[in-house]
């Protein structure tokens, strides 16, 4: 993607969705952290179904700890890898209580020290909960960045660094959500809906045919 196309690319996305938000449901930084931790290799829909009931009874680190492993697993068993996620969540809650006064830390180093929290999860929390201009690269962001030519890279870290460098500062806070939504609903993995895409004029990808409409 040409440098001159980047600003209109994001301006077009902004015009269509001025205030993009995550599709995960949450009301606090801790609830967001839990939802993102649970969302690895799972859909937002399945996570939301689980957390709607979980958060009614346990929406703080201490309340999650008070539940214990088996009851926690019963709430999240519809989510893939729920055994591992439940153990990581309990360990994370223990650290939050013991080291952070039950609050979600606002530093990347402290977030990534939590069990089950990698760089992507930390970036989501920093961006969505605390308004930091970070760039979480999931499978959708990775695909869109490479396919459009916005920030091609061989791995998520390379793509993240290029995105941070190429995206104009005025779009950076919301860019993560715009790219996820674009990848989830339009720039899909197998059959991108290029003829429906508002940012197609700025994209490097040229479909071989539109016969798959």
Domain ranges, ordered by start, for the chain? 3-20+135-202, 29-129
pLDDT, tens digit, 9 for 90 and up, residues 188-201: 999 999 999 999 99
Q: Which residue out of 44, 63, 66, 138 is catalytically annotated?
A: 138
Q: Is the pTM of this model over 0.85?
A: yes
CATH code of 3-20+135-202, in short, is 1.10.1670.10
Q: The CATH number of 29-129 is which of 3.90.550.10, 1.25.10.10, 1.10.287.10, 1.10.340.30? A: 1.10.340.30
Is 49 assigned a catalytic role? Answer: no
pLDDT band at 209; cut points 50, 70, 90: low
Q: Which residue out of 14, 44, 66, 120 is catalytically annotated?
A: 120
pLDDT band at 41; cut points 50, 70, 90: confident
**How many other C-beta atoms are found inside a 10 Å radius of the C-beta of residue 87?**
15
pLDDT, tens digit, 9 for 90 and up, residues 67-91: 999 999 999 999 989 999 999 999 9
Q: Which pLDDT score, from 0 to 100, does residue 63 have? A: 98
Is 66 assigned a catalytic role? Answer: no
């Amino acid at each position: 993607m040409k440098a001159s196309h980047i600003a209109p690319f994001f301006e077009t996305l902004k015009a269509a969705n001025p205030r993009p938000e995550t599709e995960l449901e949450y009301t606090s930084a801790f609830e967001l952290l839990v939802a993102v931790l649970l969302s690895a290799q799972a859909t937002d829909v399945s996570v939301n179904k689980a957390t709607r009931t979980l958060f009614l009874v346990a929406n703080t680190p201490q309340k999650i700890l008070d539940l214990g492993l088996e009851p926690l697993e019963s709430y999240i068993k519809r989510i893939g890898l729920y055994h591992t996620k439940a153990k990581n969540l309990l360990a994370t809650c223990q650290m939050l209580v013991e080291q952070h006064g039950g609050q979600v830390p606002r530093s990347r180093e402290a977030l990534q020290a939590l069990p089950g929290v990698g760089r992507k999860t930390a970036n989501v929390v920093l961006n969505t909960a605390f308004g930091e201009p970070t760039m979480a690269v999931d499978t959708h962001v990775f695909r869109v960045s490479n396919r459009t030519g916005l920030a091609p890279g061989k791995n998520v870290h390379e793509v993240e660094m290029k995105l941070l460098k190429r995206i104009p500062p005025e779009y950076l806070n919301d860019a993560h959500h715009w790219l996820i939504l674009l990848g989830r609903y339009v720039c899909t993995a197998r059959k991108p809906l290029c003829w429906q895409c508002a940012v197609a004029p700025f994209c490097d990808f040229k479909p071989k045919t539109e016969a798959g409409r």
